[in-house]
Structure formats: C-alpha cells, structure tokens
Amino acid sequence: MYGKLQEFLQQELAAIREAGLYKNERIIVSPQNAEIELESGQKVLNFCANNYLGLSDHPALVQAAKDALDSHGFGMSSVRFICGTQDLHKTLERKIAEFFGTDDTILYAAAFDANGGIFEPLFGEEDAIISDALNHASIIDGVRLSKAKRYRYANADMDDLEAQLIAAQEQRFRIIVTDGVFSMDGNVAPMDKINELAHKYNALVMVDECHSAGVVGETGRGVTELFNIRGQVDVITGTLGKAFGGAIGGFTTGRKEIIELLRQRSRPYLFSNSLPPAVVNAGIKMFDMMSQTSELQDKLHRNTEYFLERMTAAGFDIKPTKSAICAVMLYDAKLSQEMAAQLLNEGIYVIGFYYPVVPKGQARIRVQLSAAHETTHLDKAIAAFTKVGRALGVIS
Ligand SMILES: *Cc1c(COP(=O)(O)O)cnc(C)c1O
C-alpha cells in the first residue's frame, strides 16, 4: 500500500521544494545563546531565537534543573491527575499566577496544548469566539475543536472587532481572543480598546502572551502591564519556551473557576504527560528571579531601542514595533532570502520571511533582540546589515 502514498508524498515534497518553501533545519552544536556555533564550525550571532531574556543558557536555571534531577527525579510517567503532580508543579502554578496577578494557573506540555485545550471545555454551540485574524496557529486549531460559533476580525482592527461583537450579541457567552504581540510585525494588540469593547458588549477577554510575557511592560508582566489592566483579563495563555527559559511547557492562567474546570475537562491536560521536574524547578527559579529584579527587561528594552534607532538612521524601513521583534521590510521574497544568506556569511543569523508566512509583497527579515546581546553584538549586526543592505541596493 505504501507505494501509492509514497509516490504522492514525493510529489508533494517536490512541489514544496519547487515553490521555495522547503524548511531546512540548521544544526547548532552549542547551547542557545547570543553567540552560537553551527555544525560547520562557524560561530554566528543569533538574532532569530525567542530567547528574549537570554535565559536559555542561564547558569541559575541550569543549576535549578540539575538540583531537581537529584531531588525529584527525571520523569513523571503519569498525567497530572493520576500520579503526576509534585510539590514543584503546584509551586510553579502559584508563581505564574502571582506574576500575572491572576487567581490560578494550569500547566500544559506546551502553549500549543494550552490553546488547544481551552475552548472546547468552556464554549459550546450557543457561544461565540471572536478571534484576531493573525492569531497563532494553536489558537486557530483550539477554536476548531470547539462547537462555538466563530467570528474573525482583521488584525488589531477595533472597528471590525466591534462589528463582530455586534453580530455575536445573540450568543450566550462571547470571548475575544488575541495574541498579545503578533510574531511577524511585533505589533501589540490594543488591549485597552479590546477591554473597553469587551465591557460594552459583554464579552470575556483572552490573550496569548507567548511573545509578550517577560518582554512587554516595564517589568515584563506582559500586555496587561503595558496597558495597565492587570487582573482584568479573564484568560492568559503563555509559554515557558520563549522568554521564560526556552525549554518547554505552557500554561493557562486566569479566573479561578475557569482554571478549575480546565483541570476537569481540558483534554491536553487530562491525556498528556506531566512536565518533568527539572523543567518545572527551573521555571520556579526563573519566576523567583523575575520577582526580584527587572534588570533583564531593562537591558532588553535598551537593546531594542538601540537597534531600532540605528537601523532606522541607516535608512532601513522598520515596521512599528512595541516588542523585541523588529521587522526589516524588504517587500521582495528573493531579496529577503539573499539578504539573510549574505548576513549569515557576515556572522549574523537572521531569517527572511515571505508569502505565505507573511502577506504577498510583505517579505522581510525578522530580527529578534535579546537581553543576551551586548552592545558589541548589536553594533556588529547593524554594521553587517548596512554593508549587505548597500550591496543589495536596499539602502543607499
Ligand atoms: C510560540 C507560540 C505558541 C506555542 O508555544 P509552545 O509552548 O512552543 O507550544 C503559542 N502561541 C503563540 C502566540 C506563540 O508565539
């Protein structure tokens, strides 16, 4: 039987390659950090990780993980509700709730699961989910798993959101769902206006803080800090896989009864393994560090400002951003690939994005800043961008 499928798959793969959409994995042989070593032996400066706070290889987190291996073992071999809950899991859930100013938290194996497991238990046919058009794939999949009526509004478009809220007034419950920071442009959801509309039209609010938690807001508490609406959002989902250490793990944090019901009914929680103690203990250490100081956020914000200012002065066209994501606009798919390749030769690792990852004619290089970057790293990147940009006629 496989022969027929194999032939079909070979054709599909060839089509992906021909369209220039084939994803190759670049092999890294060092820990994740500002500077990484590739399999080829080349050392490059990394500007494409979600390692916003530089915690992926932080000695305190590595040590906390080692400590937990000794004190709590390697794996749980169980889901949470059978025999997979350690004191560590409860402590981390509490610390996440303290960080966001919420009632309670439920951990998942990944934010993909947190988003996949939130809608189906809470919303049925008589309800409405009103979702930003650029929300993450995991939200889209999660919404598909519920029977609720679906509404979509154009990215961060408050007039369209209002129109959808009006259209959904007959529904029993309404929930507005948005990413906090959108990963391709780095723009922030207008949470103040979303909150106002939610009040006006009697809707709940959910925000996915994967790219914003740890990053946005003066102390990195995310978009609810940025818009001064801490404690007013009903549901927050997030990841331990980006700013918060970068290992693995997701969470949903918010209203008490919502979290309690998720522990009873959320399928990725009920039917998938517990997070391993080493990851959980490093997470606890991470939130302890966050509660003591926001120096990493300060450094990240300084780095982002420094980079944006100098790149703009050099003549690059940068999308307005409120995050650590900086989209250097090129508008041409081929150019974005050529420029990324030349930058890699200069020791700067960035990725060029083009259709269908971003809209047609909106090709760009996405730069992600980190608290792990030193000013010398930023200067080197800016110099390389300027050199390559001139050679390719992007700037004069
Ligand atoms: C990365 C990301 C996720 C998935 O997070 P994982 O923990 O890696 O599964 C979900 N939502 C958004 C907005 C993301 O950026």
Give tens-digit pLDDT for 281-302: 999 999 999 999 999 999 999 9
277-292 and 59-72 helices, crossing angle to 10°: 140
Give the position, in ligand 1's atom list, of the atom nearest the Cα of 113. Answer: 9
Q: Note the pTM of the prediction, 2 decimals.
A: 0.97
Please report, for residues 106, 131, 148, the alpha-carbon distance to residue 261 in angstroms, rounded to integers and kept in the order given. Answer: 10, 22, 17
Which amino acid, one-letter code, is at 175? Answer: I
- Candidates 218, 257, 256, 253; CA nearest to 236 is 253
Assess whether pLDDT exceeds 90 at residue 38. yes
Q: Buried b / exposed e across 287-305, counting CB within 10 Å, b at 16+?
A: bebbeeebebbebbbebbe
Give tens-digit pLDDT for 105-131: 999 999 999 999 999 999 999 999 999
Question: Is 250 a pocket residue for ligand 1 (Cβ < 6 Å)?
Answer: yes
Give tens-digit pLDDT for 180-232: 999 999 999 999 999 999 999 999 999 999 999 999 999 999 999 999 999 99
Q: Could you list the active site residues?
A: 183, 211, 242
Q: Which residues contact 346 (CB under 8 A, 6 or more apart)?
A: 384, 387, 388
Looking at the chain, the whole-number percentage of residues with pLDDT higher than 90 is 98
Contact by Cβ (8 Å): 279, 67 = no
Assess whether pLDDT exceeds 90 at residue 317. yes
- pLDDT value of position 272: 98
- pLDDT value of position 19: 86
- pLDDT value of position 298: 97
Check residue 361 and give left, alpha or beta (phi > 0: left; psi -120 to 50: alpha). left
Give, for ligand 1, the residue of 216, 242, 253 to mutate: max count of ligand atoms closer than 8 Å to Cβ: 242
Q: Which two tokens stand for residue 28?
A: 């890294």
Assess whether pLDDT exceeds 90 at residue 344. yes
The dihedral formed by the CA atoms of 196, 199, 200 and 202, expressed in degrees to the nearest 10: 140
Question: Is 109 a pocket residue for ligand 1 (Cβ < 6 Å)?
Answer: no
Contact by Cβ (8 Å): 263, 106 = yes
Residue 116 CA to ligand 1 center (angstroms) comes to 11
